[in-house]
Amino acid sequence: MNAVLTEEQLRLLMNICGPAGGHLLSVLEKLMLSSISSSETDELCELISNELLLNGIQENFEPNDYGRKLEELLDAVNKGRLHEA
């Protein structure tokens, strides 16, 4: 699995993973080394999705600016799955 993240996406993901503990930071490291498993990708996607639902959606259920960044991050993290199929 190969996910290429921009510096901004990497910082965003580190901010999201940091409070969750060291385990997720090691998963992030695996992502950057392209050695992440499908279940670890699921774990990151769940974390990003939860952040999107909590802080990235406006009252009209449209994403705000932060939510759009999170959607792009989800796309980047999931990009490696396309190559597995």
pLDDT of residue 49: 96
pLDDT of residue 1: 42
pLDDT of residue 21: 67
- Output 66 or 26, whichever has higher pLDDT: 66
C-alpha distances in angstroms, 77 versus 1, 49, 82? 9, 12, 11
Is residue 36 within 8 Å of 76, Cβ to Cβ? no
Instruction: Give me the residue spans of the domains in the chain.
Output: 7-84
pLDDT tens-digit readout, 29-85: 888 888 889 999 999 999 999 999 999 999 999 999 999 999 999 999 988 666 555
